[in-house]
Structure 1
Amino acid sequence: MFKNISSFLFLLVFSISNAQVFINELDCDTPSTDDREFIELKSTAPNFPLDGYVLVLYNGTGTNANLNYYVIDLDGLTTDINGIVVIGNNLVSPVPNRSLPDNIFQNGPDGVALYLGSSSDFPNLSVATTANLIDALVYDTNDADATALMTLLGETEQISEGANNSPLSIQRKNDGTYEANTPTPGANNDGTGFIYSGITISTTATQFNEGQAFTITFTTQTAVTDNNLNFNFSLSNSGFNAADFTGSTAVTIPIGSNTFTSTIQLVDDINDEGDEIARIRFGTLPFGYNRVNDNIELRIIDNDFTTSTWGTPLNPTYGVVQSTAPVGYYDSLEGKAGLDLKQAIQDIIANPTVVRAHNYGDIESILKVADQNPLNSNQVWLMYVEQPRSKLDFQETGINTGKWNREHIYPQSRGGFANGTDDTPDGINVWLPTNADDILAGHADAHHLRAEDGPENTSRGNRDYGEYLGPVGTQGSWRGDVARSLFYMAVRYNALSVVNGNPSNTTVGQIGDLALLLQWNQTDPSDDFEMNRNNYIYTWQVNRNPFIDYPSLADYVFGANFGQPWFSTLSNNNFDNSKIVLYPNPMKDNFVISGVSEGTIEIYSTIGQKVFEKNINGEVAIDINLAAGIYLAKITSGNKELVRKIIVQ
């Protein structure tokens, strides 16, 4: 592989004080995803330091046309023997000299410019300029020309990469013009120059349990010549360190070979450290080699996870988790009715001398505890899709497939609090006072934020509940949770309300459908999962969702009992359900219920349709003729009620 090395040796020690640097290649749009995009610079002299250079990305259209949206300081970068340096996403291959987050480059018409200067010279939304400009490229994906931006950057031609999701990149030719062609990151566009031998990292799998052994293989594109190839790699990453594995991290590929395999043994300890990510990273490589891939993530599953005594929303339990509301927390509500009752609730949950407002960055930490899967402490429970997901899979880039993120039950745009708080977490001990008029605090009010599957969160958008009924196959275990969250928001903040019907999705301060939400509050009753999250959020915000502690409040504030005095004895939380027995469950054609004196049982489908009703007293055998599925049995006695989930086989 080194037959041409003699013609390049003098370049390794040759340096000059100045060299021409230009934009050599740009891949602004890749098929399906935006995780393989890059920009390549080239200097006319090899091994040229780029200290004092900066790349600036500009909008070409829209309200921010001709203004910058991203700046990349190039200090610390040096071009290679071919005069090339690459800045791009982690999945670009060979690996870029500097990494960028996914989805940075806009598809166009937009521009990128190379300047002498620093990032501080280009504050966000600065107007494009030719001052200290070295080179510029205005580009598109089959879009109209951004003529104003071209003029500001002194360009007379806009270059197209091709249609959206183009597999091509924009490449500079030797005559200084550009063409769209197959991407060549890290190499001269015409195929000349020194050719590196790439090294690839591979493993037998990407997920392992504590205690397992696995192998890592390093493979060069061409067989090693002249001398053995020696380098090191690392596995440590955040909480995963040398105490978590044994095995050598030194690599030797002998002359004539192109592979080396290392065996790693994972340590099986007795501590629940949570699932972790081990990251395979190359150490420094000898001259002539580059990285085909790097930063390979391996998921290490901790088998010491813990479980809770309560159930998931899909298989709920009731009465296991008790409210941690302080004694007397709700005393001021007793006997109040209508708007007075609503105001009394707000006086508690928006009390400016007590309640604390945290920021959006803290929500990730809050949800990892509040929405923890009761069956596995290393997972969160996703609401709409009704399934768990590893806490590790929090969405941190624009790619949301397989990730979970923070779902606003009262949509940001509908609430008027979009981006109202900072995304940098500052912890439970840093907070701001808040009140009922502090609508921006709604951006990070954990009582209406839940862990959710990224694509499903996108699918929900900002629709009303009535327009959005969840993914296909949902069993509705989240519907009551949604209703009680919205009832809370409509009382907590003066600017918000829950209304009948489906107002326009652009309406700020209103969300529907109230009638449906009141129904969901009944058919999907508050369970232990909700009570546990209510208790935990209270430790941060020092307020509670009263509609979880007392679900019947919703009917007195928003529903059929509006105007009637409310007393805590009316709450189904005071129903003595320890004496209520309903068996067998699951059932087929009949079941027995006992422990109820002079009451009724009503059975509802998961969409809220009443399919059965019967008066009961003492122990009663009940015949049913229902299709297989999940139902909710509402048991009423006097002014108290209890809801149980039943399964018909």
Structure 2
Amino acid sequence: MKRFLIVPVIFICQISWSQVLVINELDPDSPSTDTAEFVELKSQTPNFSTDGYILVFFNGSSSGADSSYMVIDLNGYQTDNNGLLVIGSEGVYPFPQLLISENVIQNGADAVGIYQASVNDFPEGTLATQANLIDAMVYGTNDPDDTVLMGLLGETVQYNDNGTNATERSIQRFVDGMGVESYSAATPTPRRENDGSGTAINPIQISVVETQYDEGASFDITFTAEVNVTSDLNFTISLNNFGFNTSDYTGNTNLTILSGTNSTSTTITLTDDSDDEGDEVMRIQFTDLEEPIVPGNNFVEVRVVDNDFTVAAWGTPTNPTTGIVQSTQPDGYYDSLDGLSDLALRQALQDIIADPNVVRAQTYADVIDILMEADQNPANSNQVWLLYIEEGRAKLDLQTGSSNSGKWNREHTFPRSRGGFFDIEEDEVADGIDVFWTTEADSLRHGNSDAHALRAADAAENSSRGNQHYGQYIGPSGTLGSFRGDVARSVLYMEIRYNGLEVVNGFPTTTGQLGDLATLLDWHRNDPPDDFEMNRNNVVYTWQFNRNPFIDQPDLVEYIWGNNVGDVWDQQLSVDENELQGVSLYPNPTSGRLYINTTNAVNVEVYSVEGKRLRQYSAIDGYLDLDLASGLYLVKLETEKGSMTKKIIVE
């Protein structure tokens, strides 16, 4: 939203302070990425329990319809010595007493209200009301007045925070000596009285030089008070966080800032054990500060990189292997396809992979756990392998906030907007492998969380791809294109799995259609399945109880979309790999010379990953010199007994 710098306006309300709890300050639009949003409540008396109260946020946009979008339960909290309670995100300084995610408070025109009620009274989408309302504020960031929302809450003024990206402002409440309230936009003052009165607090800031250390490393944690303490300040910190505990480090966690000074530090040494625990996160937090000493920041995270990761027996997509990972398909899984062709073959295949008596659908949140296993980097078990940019990234770097730099997230190879599927509230719950929905071919909504068509991807690259068709999008420049066959097989799977989806030629605009079929067929042919793809097929099968048939039986693609449409399918005649089991290529990667181990001379064709034939050789029975630039290539070997295609790396 474009915002303008305006001279702050003072809003005056001729109502003396009579409520037990009011909205004292609101910052709904902190600069840049909204990392310091907060609401500050104030009670008439200090240390006031907020049990029985809730904070409700209302969306004043046309789509929000002046209804609730977020509710915060205030049970278990109380205001401080100044009667203040700050609800905000981690970027707020001093640190909030009640922590919420960043970038969740909407800019406006919107509203927030304090109610003496239960969170169950305000399910998402509840129209704003004055029933049980204690105090409310309608606000905006240079937005037109939402008179309807104001009327629903009994308010007559919509307040403006007047903030810009360069100058942060919050809406603040003031009370003069006569008890008259007024509001103005000023520099935020969380956990401090807006007029500078009250008991002064002294925040302590936690700092570390780096946010990531290897096992065995030592580093200092420094604690700095805003002003010198007037007596020795003893306090304790905790570093524990999930699996990270006192067995993972040594160092003093009982600290003292000496009188007349404002800082102290401790040295922490990380234990270098032999356990494959995966990367962990240490969380530095205060455990026993008492007012007027308060946290300046808190829950500071430091990643501990485990050097005991495992390496799989198979290769990454850019250094592929085949034949090491075997399909875990049950015996006879595809037998019902034999002897069929055309529409009958399609239907029989759908009957297998969309069988409502067998197949399961998981939540979109569950997909994160699935991808951490299915897309695990074969070269480092602490990482996921990223589609498109072809590299590993720490599993811990999952995007959870607004920033996508250096993060990974879930990429729909068949974009949601193209497919017409979506998530629902239950999709936000990761309820595990044993909790699932029944699903069928008409359950298009479940395409949102179908792990066969979801991949771990660099969050920024995912955003760049958007909902482009393949062919429009071909991946980042400078990569090997090792993902191309994978995405082809995943979107072709989606067409068969769900009624209402189709892969077509060109770049359609019709919902349910994705292109470009010709491009995807080339990608499938020139980037055949490898061990990485077979392993993820096996992993997804353990969750969903269905498989991607085009990984197990890649020639099926030709019988449904390609060169064999109309031909009768027979499994035993479709697996060329078995007919050339005695043929092998080595070394891989190669510096240029490629040896072919075979009892018979073979014809050889070399293709780029885009499908362009680069070299052709006849009757090779020893070796050949490729004379190619470094990169990934496809080598097709053919004899009178059949053919096979292998990926090779030229270094």
For the Cα contact (< 8 Å) 1:333–1:566, is it kept in 2?
yes
2:247 aligned partner? 243
Deviation at residue 213 of structure 1 after TM alignment = 2.4
Mapping for residues 563-582 of structure 1, pairs under 5 Å = 563-568=566-571, 569-581=573-585
2:46 aligned partner? 46
Inter-CA distance 429–584: structure 2 relative to 1 (3 Å threshold): closer
Mapping for residues 232-271 of structure 1, pairs under 5 Å = 232-271=236-275
Inter-CA distance 129–355: structure 2 relative to 1 (3 Å threshold): closer
Mean Cα displacement is larger for which, 213-222 or 285-294? Answer: 213-222
For the Cα contact (< 8 Å) 2:502–2:514, is it kept in 1?
yes
Inter-CA distance 112–236: structure 2 relative to 1 (3 Å threshold): same
Mapping for residues 50-89 of structure 1, pairs under 5 Å = 50-89=50-89
Q: Measure the CA separation in 2 of the matches of 1:202 and 1:67.
A: 41
Deviation at residue 19 of structure 1 after TM alignment = 5.5
Q: Deviation string for 1:209-267 (max 9, x for gaps)?
A: 22222222222122221x31111111111111122222232111221222222222222
Q: Measure the CA separation in 2 of the matches of 1:584 and 1:606.
A: 16
Deviation at residue 503 of structure 1 after TM alignment = 0.9
Q: Measure the CA separation in 2 of the matches of 1:161 and 1:512.
A: 46
For the Cα contact (< 8 Å) 2:163–2:169, is it kept in 1?
no
1:350 aligns with 2:329: no
1:7 aligned partner? none
Inter-CA distance 53–332: structure 2 relative to 1 (3 Å threshold): closer
For the Cα contact (< 8 Å) 1:253–1:260, is it kept in 2?
yes
Q: What do you get for the CA RMSD once the two structures are aligned?
A: 2.4
1:493 aligns with 2:509: no
Q: Measure the CA separation in 1 of the matches of 2:622 and 2:127.
A: 79
For the Cα contact (< 8 Å) 2:588–2:648, is it kept in 1?
no
Question: What amino acid is aligned across from residue 576 of structure 1 in structure 2?
Answer: L
2:322 aligned partner? 318
1:418 aligns with 2:419: no
Query: SS state of the match for residue 440, structure 1?
Result: helix
Question: What amino acid is aligned across from residue 172 of structure 2 in structure 1?
Answer: Q
1:442 aligns with 2:447: yes
For the Cα contact (< 8 Å) 1:137–1:158, is it kept in 2?
yes
Question: What amino acid is aligned across from residue 540 of structure 1 in structure 2?
Answer: W
Query: SS state of the match for residue 288, structure 2?
Result: coil
Question: What amino acid is aligned across from residue 531 of structure 2 in structure 1?
Answer: D
For the Cα contact (< 8 Å) 1:275–1:392, is it kept in 2?
yes
Question: What amino acid is aligned across from residue 525 of structure 1 in structure 2?
Answer: P
Deviation at residue 485 of structure 1 after TM alignment = 0.6
Query: SS state of the match for residue 172, structure 1?
Result: strand
Q: Measure the CA separation in 2 of the matches of 1:334 and 1:572.
A: 17
Deviation at residue 528 of structure 1 after TM alignment = 0.7
Inter-CA distance 307–89: structure 2 relative to 1 (3 Å threshold): same
Question: What amino acid is aligned across from residue 546 of structure 1 in structure 2?
Answer: P
1:280 aligns with 2:284: yes
1:15 aligned partner? none
Question: What amino acid is aligned across from residue 25 of structure 1 in structure 2?
Answer: E
Q: 2:556 aligns with which of 553, 559, 563?
A: 553
Q: Measure the CA separation in 2 of the matches of 1:123 and 1:644.
A: 55
For the Cα contact (< 8 Å) 1:447–1:537, is it kept in 2?
yes
How many residues align structurally?
Answer: 628
For the Cα contact (< 8 Å) 2:580–2:641, is it kept in 1?
no
For the Cα contact (< 8 Å) 2:19–2:134, is it kept in 1?
no
Q: Measure the CA separation in 1 of the matches of 2:326 and 2:579.
A: 14
2:140 aligned partner? 140
Deviation at residue 22 of structure 1 after TM alignment = 2.2
1:607 aligned partner? 610
1:13 aligned partner? none
Query: SS state of the match for residue 280, structure 1?
Result: strand
Q: Measure the CA separation in 2 of the matches of 1:452 and 1:538.
A: 21
Q: Measure the CA separation in 1 of the matches of 2:506 and 2:127.
A: 46
Gaps of 5+ in 2: 1-17
TM-score (norm 1): 0.91
Query: SS state of the match for residue 31, structure 2?
Result: coil
Query: SS state of the match for residue 564, structure 2?
Result: coil
Q: Deviation string for 1:187-226 (max 9, x for gaps)?
A: 122323222111111223221222222222222122221x
Question: What amino acid is aligned across from residue 249 of structure 1 in structure 2?
Answer: T
Deviation at residue 575 of structure 1 after TM alignment = 4.4
For the Cα contact (< 8 Å) 1:580–1:596, is it kept in 2?
no
Q: Measure the CA separation in 1 of the matches of 2:587 and 2:371.
A: 35
Question: What amino acid is aligned across from residue 215 of structure 2 in structure 1?
Answer: E
Deviation at residue 373 of structure 1 after TM alignment = 0.6
Q: Deviation string for 1:38-70 (max 9, x for gaps)?
A: 011223433333233322111112132211111
Mapping for residues 147-226 of structure 1, pairs under 5 Å = 147-162=147-162, 165=165, 167-174=168-175, 176-225=181-230
Q: Measure the CA separation in 2 of the matches of 1:606 and 1:414.
A: 26
Q: Measure the CA separation in 2 of the matches of 1:79 and 1:402.
A: 38
2:385 aligned partner? 381
For the Cα contact (< 8 Å) 1:574–1:640, is it kept in 2?
no
Mean Cα displacement is larger for which, 638-647 or 294-303? Answer: 638-647
Mean Cα displacement is larger for which, 630-639 or 451-460? Answer: 630-639
Question: What amino acid is aligned across from residue 632 of structure 1 in structure 2?
Answer: L
For the Cα contact (< 8 Å) 2:408–2:459, is it kept in 1?
yes
Q: Deviation string for 1:103-147 (max 9, x for gaps)?
A: 211111111122333323323211112233332222122222212
Q: Measure the CA separation in 2 of the matches of 1:253 and 1:163.
A: 37
Mean Cα displacement is larger for which, 124-133 or 514-523? Answer: 124-133
Deviation at residue 178 of structure 1 after TM alignment = 2.5
2:4 aligned partner? none
For the Cα contact (< 8 Å) 1:20–1:43, is it kept in 2?
yes
Mean Cα displacement is larger for which, 429-438 or 492-501? Answer: 429-438
Q: Measure the CA separation in 2 of the matches of 1:526 and 1:86.
A: 54
Inter-CA distance 186–576: structure 2 relative to 1 (3 Å threshold): same
Q: 2:647 aligns with which of 628, 645, 648?
A: 645
Deviation at residue 627 of structure 1 after TM alignment = 4.8
TM-score (norm 2): 0.91
1:509 aligns with 2:512: yes
Deviation at residue 434 of structure 1 after TM alignment = 2.8
2:12 aligned partner? none
Inter-CA distance 621–627: structure 2 relative to 1 (3 Å threshold): closer
Q: Measure the CA separation in 1 of the matches of 2:599 and 2:548.
A: 29
Question: What amino acid is aligned across from residue 168 of structure 1 in structure 2?
Answer: R
Q: Measure the CA separation in 2 of the matches of 1:267 and 1:648.
A: 40
Inter-CA distance 596–537: structure 2 relative to 1 (3 Å threshold): farther
For the Cα contact (< 8 Å) 1:358–1:444, is it kept in 2?
yes
1:307 aligns with 2:311: yes
Inter-CA distance 278–609: structure 2 relative to 1 (3 Å threshold): same
2:15 aligned partner? none
Mapping for residues 505-544 of structure 1, pairs under 5 Å = 507-544=510-547
Deviation at residue 591 of structure 1 after TM alignment = 5.1
Q: Measure the CA separation in 1 of the matches of 2:223 and 2:368.
A: 36
For the Cα contact (< 8 Å) 2:140–2:159, is it kept in 1?
yes
1:632 aligned partner? 634
Q: Deviation string for 1:540-591 (max 9, x for gaps)?
A: 2222111111212111111122112233333243242552335685345x65
Query: SS state of the match for residue 177, structure 1?
Result: strand
Mean Cα displacement is larger for which, 563-572 or 244-253? Answer: 563-572
- Percent identical across equivalent pairs? 51
Question: What amino acid is aligned across from residue 147 of structure 1 in structure 2?
Answer: T
1:340 aligns with 2:341: no
For the Cα contact (< 8 Å) 1:19–1:48, is it kept in 2?
no
Inter-CA distance 51–540: structure 2 relative to 1 (3 Å threshold): closer
For the Cα contact (< 8 Å) 1:214–1:265, is it kept in 2?
yes
Q: Deviation string for 1:375-413 (max 9, x for gaps)?
A: 111111111221111112223334433322222212223
Deviation at residue 283 of structure 1 after TM alignment = 1.1
Deviation at residue 617 of structure 1 after TM alignment = 4.5
Question: What amino acid is aligned across from residue 578 of structure 2 in structure 1?
Answer: N
Q: Measure the CA separation in 2 of the matches of 1:163 and 1:562.
A: 62
Q: Measure the CA separation in 2 of the matches of 1:640 and 1:338.
A: 24
Deviation at residue 319 of structure 1 after TM alignment = 1.7
For the Cα contact (< 8 Å) 2:320–2:648, is it kept in 1?
no
Query: SS state of the match for residue 150, structure 1?
Result: helix
1:3 aligned partner? none
Q: Measure the CA separation in 2 of the matches of 1:372 and 1:313.
A: 11
2:14 aligned partner? none
Mean Cα displacement is larger for which, 478-487 or 116-125? Answer: 116-125
